[in-house]
């Protein structure tokens, strides 16, 4: 089971790099959606089969894999943008950063004191790498959609870390957290939509009116 | 049971508001719910219910020491909001009223949460529920502010989730069951895995610090406070920051129980002082009086952090300061809102002579400014003096010096802006403004009430509050 | 002798003799210059004539124009009453009377300068500005001199301060006080009473618009002030502690005479300094008094 | 005991004034006068020999029970506050009347009562927390009084500078009281000389109260605030408010142990303030600014006395004798300066009221239109120049006596007493020059512009207030021996070991001498006047060496008058001169403008604040609106926190 899990985490880490390297927004959104779906499956793998876990998993997959990407795609189409042009951190440096970060995450995870049953999984390095990727996207991209994707990847990373605790935390809490995250991204999606309407663009370089 | 009422009543009211048909009558839900909430919280302040250790939610001493302040602030804001929404009939208020009530419910939940995950859920809920409030004005500026609030705040709150997981993992790694109630975590004490505890503290401090608005995570604050309606600013500055501070206090107690108290206190002290210095520097130059309030809030969050870093006496003073900050900042926001509406602008370059145009609001604004800069006899003076005393008592002389220096520069900055707006030659004819924005009792009295409460806190602190703060300090610093 | 008798008696003698001093100075100057000069009693004649004359007053001036000289005169007279005459203590001797004396002289300055400013004339303004400005350094010198006497005798009362033998710094003190005397009484090299260019005067220019009795009061006051400073100088420097009263009085009279002749000689032999070097000279006087003080201090400590 | 009821009366009057002052000016005046009488009565009864008044109430304010105490030292200041407060109230009824200042008159009355009440509270409270409470309230009241006429930008700037400087001082006091409370374990104040470890706190006291007192390098706020405030406010600011700073210094140098260097520092600070204050005053052209700088000088004089007292107390032995004299002089000078400076500000206010300008070079010849004001100013000038037989001399004389005694004993303090005595003399002479200039340029000669030509004398209330203060100046000067018990009481309250011996004893012969001099002066003046009248008096134009048509613009100006002595202080005065000489055969448009800005403000504080603002601007640039960077800040914050935890956690 650990092997399956590791494959999935490895897939998620690879999707990080895809997200970092794709200059076209549809590709980015697709990578994020896929990562969300992959993550959604994991609790089912780790937990004993339970209707509640299944429900959570379905909700996750539906939210992260379908609803949010759809929202983002709609906004993207409305704003009539396809590409991330002239990002703050270029694609190649982003990729290098992401790759370096992934290696560093693996190294760091080796150094961290982990329980024996977690030491063999890629959960911690995958989580750290995703968080890092999320930050790179948040910091390095100029299109609001790309940033939202970055934020999603950041959350995915945290979700990965949360899987370490899946046996300890009560499901109610887990569900609440998931719900919050989903609603959060949903709200972000709405705001992106509104910004698109108010500013007629999703380029965050235009969103610097509020300043000292 | 009553404790749950504090959450259920506003949530139910929020649901009701979402369903209520009439835009004109819906705002009445605000003061009604606020009053009910005040009655409940004050009742429980006076007669605290027993809370079992294992409870996930409960009106425990810490909640008792802080929640009534939020409750009172909310009531005053609600009364103000009733009148405010009457002036804003051009915008539908269904979502606004519902979300504001939901914020109150989630704030109550956050204050009373005794479980790490629950706490996070409540705080994230507040964050999300506040979003429609922020862009109520519907201007591009408002959306920009909301966007930044969401992403910076969201990142912060995500980090605090990571921190919560780390703390949970510390428990599991230390051989615990992974029970994330604060009581269980603190009981595990030194059994918690130290590296994970430290990592958790860093992430949680950064995360909830973002919510509080500690520098350098404060960047969303001026934008959000500047663009949101006054009432939202007041609730954010007096309520949301408070709940984040409660979270930090609870976590600090756990982390200190794990045996890394001194390290943790040092980080709190440094980040608090840094926030004060940054706020002072920003205040020296800012020209927008609503953004000014945001930086002032950053400064006060710094003060709270410093208080929390200074041991029992400091935490006591910080609890005291939470009340003072909520109430005086509320009065400032409400009067600033009046001035903003009357003047139609909000920088020193465009606004002037408000003492002639809106004399009452200007008077409240000036009084509130003096109150918030620790001029006696208002509450903040007493709490800040106590923090200073605690700093000297714990031998943090340099910190005290930085604290005082920042207070001085903050005073310079605030007085510069406030008197720039209040004094001088009015830019618009007073008569014209009075037609557009009558200074009715409805928009004056709430602010006066808040100031009056701040004055009362300073001159004659109710003994029940003193007792509540004592109890909260005992809860946070259990005598072994 | 009771003070009720003594004060009038002293006043008569001192006020009566005071106008002699300018006469003597003028006589000495004439003698050095090889002229016959005005009679020694010339000032008496002038005063008598002025006292009988009417007054012409500027339309701008207030009653203060007349009150000022009167105040100044009374202040100087009151100051001289405070001076002891050798073993004969002053009728009003008390701790700190020396300071009262100094400040009475300042009051006199206030009176004359205020009155001078009343006319709104630029000449008077110029004179007053000089008078009050130079007084600043002179004041410092006087205080230093008094301090040195005070240190030497351990007292702050004129009668005690002026009685005993002089200390080590007597010469310095004498030089300093003499310079202050010249400055305070507006003699050469600080001021030239006989010049004919108003722009270069201090004291005389202040009295430009005065006439009649107020002018008489001013002139007499100036003479009394000169006498006061001469007495102070003589008594501060000469050892009068041990001698009997008549001898002491004789010594004082002789001393005042010598000082007066000295002033005359200085006026004959020196030219008026440029105004910009006046502060320098006064500062020198101040330093001399200060050094006298230091010497007195060191002497006392030894 | 009559003290308690008197204070209750005062409190009642002031509370009534605050409540009803806005609507009912007459009632307010009556209440304020009642309060002033009450305060003065309480203070005088106590100083004349009543026991210390202590009142504790069970009522807590801010968590501390009210503890009031009136002793010799505070009674001195309370009496001054009552007198100037009452006189200012009378004066303001006419000067800042509802008719002329419709907007601010009512507000002004309320703040005035508030100011008196808070100053009284500061003087009475024997609790550090309450002291701070009153202190800050008093600062704020004074601020609103200074900015009563907020329509003018200069007024607002001056008010802000005052508030900012005061707050800087208050911050020092925050630290002081917090440290004190922390060390002693209670907010209660009282004599605690035995706590030797408290000595270093004196530096905070000096900085905190020094700002309020207007000690030389800390006086930056003083000139503009005094100049721009309404004149009755200037009077109470200069007469009383800055004395509250002195009160703090006196109070806490008496109650707390002081470091060995404290006396030296205070006396040197006093010397610097005295000389430089009056040097700045001499150079001013603005009448009220001149008076303000003169206050700096007088604070210097007071501090010379206080410093000598501290040295005396520290050296013991005969130091007790001369220290006591100096302290008596200093405390008496507090009264005297309060009386004559208020008088001078009242007359300056009267001039301003009548002519609308404070610039001396626009005034002149006012005595004819305003004889009362001119007389009051002349009297005040004599007093402020410390000339006998008025009150200014009495106190300086006592300080002199203390310093001379310190010199004659040749102890270590003599090394500083010598320069201090000389500085007193120099400052006195400069004050004489300053006030000859001010008095005569404003009131004598011919009107320099049209403004003074239409001047009018002030009304009966303003005149009454001036006459009252003039009477006090005269009374204190002529009968100083009446002050003996007061000085005995006050000095004993400062230092418990100083009871018993009477520092006022030398005043008895001085009183006789003063009286004699005053009578002689009166007789002399009357005689000369009578004689002049008998001989006949003719009026003519100023002779002016025969110049036929003297004009008003040919008169000596205030600038040229002060220039001679002010030039010696060019190094610190830093005058700004704009000069365009007349050129060519038909010259026109020659200009000479001399400005004497506040050097400390312009050369020290302004560059410093510009530096801070540069930093602020640089920091504010970080908030540039780009979300990406905000997240970088967040990450950087985490990194730094992590580093701190790593470093700290490994310990």
If pLDDT is split at 50, 70 and 90, which confidence band does D651 have?
low
Average pLDDT over residues C52-59: 91
Q: What is the pLDDT of residues D173-213, one digit of tens each?
A: 999 999 999 999 999 999 998 889 999 999 999 999 999 99
Tell me how close the Cα of D517 comes to any Cα of chain C, in angstroms: 7
Mutant choice from B155, B156, B206 vs D, greatest count of D C-beta within 10 A: B206
Q: Give yes or no for B202 touching D (CB within 8 A).
A: yes
- In terms of pLDDT, which residue wins out, D562 or B410? B410
Q: What is the pLDDT of residues D271-296, one digit of tens each?
A: 999 999 999 999 999 999 999 999 99
Q: What is the pLDDT of residue B80?
A: 95
Q: Provide, rounded to the nearest whole percent, the portion of chain A with pLDDT above 90.
A: 31
Mutant choice from B99, B102, B158 vs A, greatest count of A C-beta within 10 A: B158
**What's the Cα-to-Cα distance from C264 to each of C24, C219, D153, D416, rounded to whole Å?**
8, 18, 61, 39
Q: What is the pLDDT of residue C302?
A: 41
Q: What is the pLDDT of residue D478?
A: 94
Share the mean pLDDT of chain D. Answer: 92
Identify which of A112, A184, A212 has the shortest CB distance to residue B154.
Answer: A184
Mutant choice from A148, A180, A182 vs B, greatest count of B C-beta within 10 A: A180
Q: What is the pLDDT of residue D284?
A: 93
Q: What is the pLDDT of residues C226-267, one digit of tens each?
A: 999 999 999 988 887 777 888 888 999 999 999 999 999 999
DSSP strand pairing (D591-595 vs D576-580): antiparallel
Average pLDDT over residues D122-133: 94
Question: Is the bond leading into B377 cis (omega within 30 degrees of zero)?
Answer: yes
| DSSP label of A24 | B
Q: What chains are in contact with C, requiring at least 3 Cβ pairs below 8 Å?
A: D
Answer yes or no: is pLDDT of D317 > 60: yes
Classify each residue of D380-404 as buried b or exposed e, where b means 16 or more C-beta atoms within 10 Å of its C-beta. Answer: bbbbbbbbbbbbbbbbbbbbbbbbb
Strand, helix or coil at B110?
A: helix
* Domain ranges for chain B: 2-476
Q: Give yes or no for A194 touching B (CB within 8 A).
A: yes
Q: Which of residues 417-456 of B touch D (CB under 8 A)?
A: 419, 423-425
Q: What is the pLDDT of residue D486?
A: 92
**A185-194, B143-152, B276-285, D470-479 — which is least confidently predicted?**
A185-194
* Token output for B130: 């506040």
Q: Which residue of A has its CA nearest to D631?
A: A139
Element counts in chain A: helices (H) and strands (E): 9, 0
Spell out the SS3 assignment of D577-591: EEEECCCCCCCCCCE
* Domain ranges for chain C: 3-301
Q: What is the pLDDT of residue D649?
A: 63
Tell me how close the Cα of B342 comes to any Cα of chain D, in angstroms: 20
**Cα separation, C15 vs C228, whole angstroms:** 10
Q: What is the pLDDT of residues D321-344, one digit of tens each?
A: 899 999 999 999 999 999 999 999
CA-based torsion, B65, B69, B72, B78: positive or negative: negative
Answer yes or no: is pLDDT of D262 > 80: yes
Q: Which of residues 96-155 of A touch D (CB under 8 A)?
A: 135, 138-142, 147
Q: Give yes or no for A177 touching D (CB within 8 A).
A: no
CA dihedral angle for residue D136, residue D82, residue D160, residue D204, rounded to 10 degrees: -50
Tell me how close the Cα of C246 comes to any Cα of chain D, in angstroms: 28
Q: Provide, rounded to the nearest whole percent, the portion of chain D with pLDDT above 70.
A: 99
**Cα separation, B255 vs B258, whole angstroms:** 5
With DSSP H G I counted as helix, E B as strand and the rest as coil, what are the percentages for chain A, rounded to 5? Answer: 80, 0, 20
Q: Which residue of D has its CA nearest to A147?
A: D628
Burial of residue A48 (CB within 10 Å: 0-12, 13-18, 19+) is: exposed
Instruction: Per-residue pLDDT tens, chain B, 480 aa: give them.
Output: 678 999 999 999 999 999 999 888 999 999 999 999 999 999 999 999 988 888 899 999 999 999 999 999 999 999 999 999 988 888 899 999 999 999 999 999 999 999 999 999 999 999 999 999 999 998 999 999 999 999 999 999 999 999 999 999 999 998 888 788 999 999 998 889 999 999 999 999 999 999 999 989 999 999 999 999 999 999 999 999 999 999 999 999 999 999 898 999 999 999 999 999 999 999 999 999 999 999 999 999 999 999 999 988 999 999 999 999 999 999 999 999 999 988 888 888 888 889 888 999 999 999 999 999 998 889 999 999 999 999 999 999 999 999 999 999 999 999 999 999 998 888 777 667 777 778 888 899 999 999 999 999 999 999 999 999 999 999 999 876
* Token output for B237: 């500055």
Mutant choice from B219, B226, B382 vs D, greatest count of D C-beta within 10 A: B219
Q: Give yes or no for C120 touching D (CB within 8 A).
A: yes
* Token output for D624: 């540039």
If pLDDT is split at 50, 70 and 90, which confidence band does C301 have?
very low
Q: Give yes or no for A207 touching D (CB within 8 A).
A: yes
Q: What residues in D contact B227, CB-CB < 8 Å?
A: none
Q: Say if the Cβ atoms of A140 and D632 lie within 8 Å.
A: no
**How many Å is the maximal CA-CA distance in chain C?**
63
Q: Which residue of D has its CA nearest to A135?
A: D631
If pLDDT is split at 50, 70 and 90, which confidence band does C272 have?
confident
CA-based torsion, D135, D136, D140, D143: positive or negative: positive
Q: What is the pLDDT of residues B85-123, one digit of tens each?
A: 988 888 899 999 999 999 999 999 999 999 999 999 999
Tell me how close the Cα of B399 comes to any Cα of chain A, in angstroms: 28
Tell me how close the Cα of A143 comes to any Cα of chain B, in angstroms: 12
Angle between helices C212-237 and C64-81 (to 10 degrees): 20
ipTM score for this prediction: 0.93
Q: What residues in B contact D630, CB-CB < 8 Å?
A: 148, 152, 219-220
**Cα separation, D443 vs D370, whole angstroms:** 8
| Chains D and B touch, using 3 or more CB pairs below 8 Å | yes
Q: What is the pLDDT of residue C2?
A: 67
Strand, helix or coil at D58?
A: strand
Q: Say if the Cβ atoms of D635 and A212 lie within 8 Å.
A: no
On whether the CB atoms of residues A13 and A105 are closer than 8 A, the answer is: no
DSSP code per residue over B430-470: HHHHHHHS---HHHHHHHHHHHHHHHHHHHS--HHHHHHHH
* Domain ranges for chain D: 260-494, 600-649
If pLDDT is split at 50, 70 and 90, which confidence band does A172 have?
low
Tell me how close the Cα of C34 comes to any Cα of chain D, in angstroms: 31
C165-174, D206-215, D479-488: which is most confident = D206-215
Q: Provide, rounded to the nearest whole percent, the portion of chain D with pLDDT above 90.
A: 75
**Cα separation, D470 vs D344, whole angstroms:** 10
Q: Provide, rounded to the nearest whole percent, the portion of chain A with pLDDT above 70.
A: 98
On whether the CB atoms of residues D187 and D128 are closer than 8 A, the answer is: yes
């Amino acid at each position: 089971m650990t092997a399956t899990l590791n494959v999935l985490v490895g897939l998620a880490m690879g999707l990080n790099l895809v997200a970092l390297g794709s200059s076209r927004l549809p590709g980015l959104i697709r990578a994020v959606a896929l990562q969300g779906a992959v993550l959604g499956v994991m609790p089912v793998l780790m937990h004993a089969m339970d209707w509640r876990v299944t429900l959570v998993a379905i909700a996750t997959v539906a939210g992260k894999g379908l609803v949010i990407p759809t929202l983002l795609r709609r906004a993207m189409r409305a704003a009539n943008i396809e590409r991330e042009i002239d990002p703050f951190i270029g694609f190649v440096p982003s990729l290098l950063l992401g790759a370096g970060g992934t290696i560093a995450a693996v190294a760091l995870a080796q150094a961290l004191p982990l329980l024996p049953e977690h030491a063999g999984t890629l959960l911690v390095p995958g989580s750290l790498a995703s968080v890092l990727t999320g930050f790179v996207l948040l910091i390095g991209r100029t299109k609001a959609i790309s940033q939202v994707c970055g934020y999603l990847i950041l959350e995915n990373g945290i979700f990965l870390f949360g899987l370490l605790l899946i046996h300890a935390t009560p499901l109610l809490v887990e569900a609440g957290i998931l719900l919050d995250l989903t609603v959060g991204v949903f709200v972000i999606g709405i705001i992106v939509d509104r910004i698109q309407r108010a500013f007629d663009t999703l380029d965050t370089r235009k969103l610097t009116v509020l300043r000292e | 049971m009553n404790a749950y009422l504090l959450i259920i009543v506003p949530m139910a009211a929020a649901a009701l508001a979402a369903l209520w048909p009439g835009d004109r009558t819906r705002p009445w839900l605000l003061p009604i719910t606020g009053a009910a909430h005040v009655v409940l919280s004050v009742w429980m302040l006076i007669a605290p219910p027993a809370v079992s250790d294992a409870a996930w939610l409960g009106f425990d001493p810490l909640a008792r020491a802080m929640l009534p302040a939020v409750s009172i602030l909310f009531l005053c804001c609600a009364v103000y909001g009733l009148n405010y929404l009457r002036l804003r009939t051009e915008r539908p208020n269904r979502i606004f009223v519902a979300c504001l009530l939901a914020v109150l419910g989630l704030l109550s939940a956050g204050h009373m949460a005794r479980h790490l995950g629950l706490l996070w859920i409540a705080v994230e809920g507040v964050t999300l529920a506040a979003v429609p409030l922020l862009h109520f004005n519907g201007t591009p500026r408002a959306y920009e502010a909301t966007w930044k609030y969401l992403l910076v705040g969201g990142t912060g709150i995500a980090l605090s989730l990571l921190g919560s997981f780390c703390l949970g993992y510390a428990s599991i790694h230390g051989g615990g069951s992974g029970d994330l109630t604060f009581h269980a975590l603190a009981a595990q004490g030194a059994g918690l895995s130290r590296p994970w505890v430290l990592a958790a503290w860093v992430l949680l401090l950064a995360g909830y610090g973002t919510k509080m608005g500690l520098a350098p995570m404060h960047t969303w604050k001026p934008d959000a406070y500047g663009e949101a309606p006054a009432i939202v600013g007041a609730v954010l500055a007096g309520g949301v920051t408070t709940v984040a501070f409660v979270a930090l206090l609870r976590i600090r107690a756990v982390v200190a129980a794990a045996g890394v108290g001194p390290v943790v206190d040092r980080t709190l002290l440094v980040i608090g002082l840094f926030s004060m210095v940054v706020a002072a520097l920003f205040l020296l130059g800012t020209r927008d009086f609503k953004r000014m309030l945001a930086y002032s809030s950053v400064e006060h969050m710094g003060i709270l952090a410093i208080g929390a870093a200074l041991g029992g006496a400091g935490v006591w003073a910080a609890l005291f300061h939470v009340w003072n900050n909520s109430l005086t900042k509320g009065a400032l926001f409400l009067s600033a809102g009046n001035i903003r509406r009357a003047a139609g602008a909000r920088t020193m370059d465009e606004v002037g002579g408000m003492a002639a145009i809106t004399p009452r609001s200007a008077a409240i604004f000036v009084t509130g400014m003096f109150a918030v800069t620790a001029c006696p006899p208002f509450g903040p003076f007493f709490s800040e003096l106590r923090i200073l005393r605690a700093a000297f008592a714990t031998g943090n002389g340099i910190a005290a010096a930085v604290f005082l220096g920042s207070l001085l520069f903050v005073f310079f900055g605030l007085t510069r802006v406030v008197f720039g707006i209040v004094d001088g030659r009015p830019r618009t004819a007073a008569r014209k403004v009075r037609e557009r924005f009558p200074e009715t009792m409805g928009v004056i009295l709430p602010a006066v009430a808040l100031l009056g409460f701040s004055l009362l806190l300073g001159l004659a602190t109710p003994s029940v509050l003193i007792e509540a703060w004592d109890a909260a300090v005992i809860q946070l610093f259990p005598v072994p | 002798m009771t003070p009720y008798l003594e004060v009038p008696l002293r006043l008569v003698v001192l006020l009566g003799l005071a106008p002699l001093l300018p006469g003597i100075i003028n006589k000495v100057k004439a003698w050095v210059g090889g002229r016959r000069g005005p009679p020694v009693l010339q000032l008496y004649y002038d005063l008598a004539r002025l006292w009988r004359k009417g007054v012409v007053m500027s339309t701008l001036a207030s009653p203060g124009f007349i009150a000022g000289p009167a105040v100044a005169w009374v202040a100087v007279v009151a100051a001289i009453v405070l001076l002891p005459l050798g073993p004969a203590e002053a009728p009003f001797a008390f701790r700190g009377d020396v300071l009262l004396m100094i400040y009475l002289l300042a009051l006199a300055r206030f009176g004359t300068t205020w009155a001078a400013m009343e006319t709104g004339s630029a000449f008077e303004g110029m004179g007053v500005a000089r008078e009050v400005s130079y007084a600043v350094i002179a004041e410092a010198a006087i205080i230093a001199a008094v301090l040195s006497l005070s240190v030497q005798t351990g007292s702050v009362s004129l009668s005690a301060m002026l009685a005993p033998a002089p200390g080590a710094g007597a010469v310095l003190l004498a030089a300093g006080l003499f310079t202050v005397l010249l400055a305070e009484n507006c003699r050469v090299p600080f001021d030239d009473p006989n010049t004919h260019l108003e722009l270069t005067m201090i004291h005389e220019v202040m009295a430009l618009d005065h006439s009649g009795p107020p002018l008489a009061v001013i002139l007499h006051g100036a003479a009394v002030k000169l006498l006061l400073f001469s007495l102070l100088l003589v008594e501060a420097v000469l050892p009068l502690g041990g001698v009997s009263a008549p001898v002491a009085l004789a010594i004082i009279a002789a001393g005042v005479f010598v000082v007066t002749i000295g002033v005359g000689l200085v006026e004959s032999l020196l030219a008026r300094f440029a105004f910009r070097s006046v502060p320098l000279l006064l500062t020198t006087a101040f330093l001399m008094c200060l050094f006298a003080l230091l010497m007195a201090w060191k002497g006392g400590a030894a | 005991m009559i003290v308690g009821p008197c204070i209750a009366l005062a409190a009642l009057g002031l509370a009534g004034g605050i409540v009803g002052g806005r609507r009912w000016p007459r009632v307010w005046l009556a209440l304020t006068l009642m309060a002033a009488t009450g305060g003065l009565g309480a203070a005088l009864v106590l100083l004349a020999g009543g026991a210390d008044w202590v009142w504790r109430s069970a009522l807590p304010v801010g968590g501390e029970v009210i503890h009031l105490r009136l002793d010799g030292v505070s009674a001195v200041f309370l009496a001054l506050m009552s007198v100037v407060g009452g006189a200012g109230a009378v004066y303001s009824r006419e000067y800042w009347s509802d008719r002329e200042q419709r907007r601010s008159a009512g507000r002004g009355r309320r703040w005035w009562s508030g100011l008196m009440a808070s100053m009284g509270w500061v003087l009475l409270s024997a609790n550090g927390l309450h002291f701070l409470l009153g202190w800050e309230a008093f600062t704020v009241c004074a601020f609103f009084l200074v900015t009563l006429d907020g329509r003018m930008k200069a007024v607002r700037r001056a008010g802000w500078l005052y508030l900012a400087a005061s707050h800087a001082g208050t911050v020092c006091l925050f630290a002081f009281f917090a440290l004190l409370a922390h060390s002693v374990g209670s907010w209660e104040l009282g004599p605690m000389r035995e706590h030797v470890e408290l000595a270093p706190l004196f530096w905070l006291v000096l900085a905190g109260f020094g700002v309020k007192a207007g000690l030389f390098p800390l006086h930056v706020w003083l000139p503009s605030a005094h100049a721009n405030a309404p004149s009755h406010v200037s009077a109470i600011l200069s007469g009383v408010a800055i004395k509250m700073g002195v009160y703090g210094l006196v109070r806490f140098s008496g109650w707390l142990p002081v470091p060995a260097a404290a006396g030296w520092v205070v006396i040197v600070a006093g010397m610097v303030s005295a000389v430089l204050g009056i040097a700045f005053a001499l150079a001013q052209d603005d009448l009220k600014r001149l008076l303000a700088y003169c206050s700096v000088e007088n604070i210097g004089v007071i501090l010379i006395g206080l410093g000598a007292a501290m040295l005396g107390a520290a050296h013991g032995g005969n130091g007790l004798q001369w220290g006591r004299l100096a302290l008596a002089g200093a405390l008496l000078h507090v009264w005297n300066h309060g009386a004559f400076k208020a008088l001078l500000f009242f007359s300056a206010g009267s001039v301003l009221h009548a002519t609308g300008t404070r610039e001396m070079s626009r005034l002149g010849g006012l005595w004819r239109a305003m004889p009362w004001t001119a007389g009051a100013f002349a009297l005040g000038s004599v007093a402020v120049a410390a000339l006998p037989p008025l009150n200014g001399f009495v106190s300086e004389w006592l300080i002199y006596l203390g310093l001379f005694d310190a010199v004659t004993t040749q102890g270590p303090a003599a090394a500083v007493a010598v320069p201090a005595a000389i500085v007193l003399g120099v400052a006195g002479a400069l004050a004489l020059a300053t006030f000859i200039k001010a008095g005569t340029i404003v009131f004598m000669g011919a009107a320099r512009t049209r403004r003074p030509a239409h001047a009018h004398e002030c009304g009966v209330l303003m005149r009454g207030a001036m006459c009252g203060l003039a009477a006090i100046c005269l009374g204190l000067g002529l009968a100083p021996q009446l002050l003996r018990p007061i000085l005995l009481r006050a000095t004993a309250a400062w230092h418990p070991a100083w009871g018993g011996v009477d520092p006022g004893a030398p005043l008895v012969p001085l009183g006789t001498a003063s009286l004699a001099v005053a009578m002689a002066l009166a007789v002399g003046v009357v005689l000369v006047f009578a004689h002049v009248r008998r001989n006949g008096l003719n009026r003519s134009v100023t002779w002016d060496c025969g110049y036929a048509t003297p004009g008003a613009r040919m008169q000596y100006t205030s600038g040229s008058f002060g220039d001679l002595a002010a030039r010696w202080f060019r190094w610190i005065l830093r005058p700004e001169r704009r000069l365009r000489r007349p050129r060519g055969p038909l010259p026109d448009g020659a200009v000479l403008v001399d400005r004497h800005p506040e050097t400390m403000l312009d050369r020290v504080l302004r560059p410093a604040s510009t530096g801070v603002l540069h930093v602020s601007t640089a920091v504010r640039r970080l908030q540039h609106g780009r979300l990406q960077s905000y997240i970088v800040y967040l990450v950087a914050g985490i990194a730094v926190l992590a580093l701190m935890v790593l470093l700290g956690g490994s310990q």
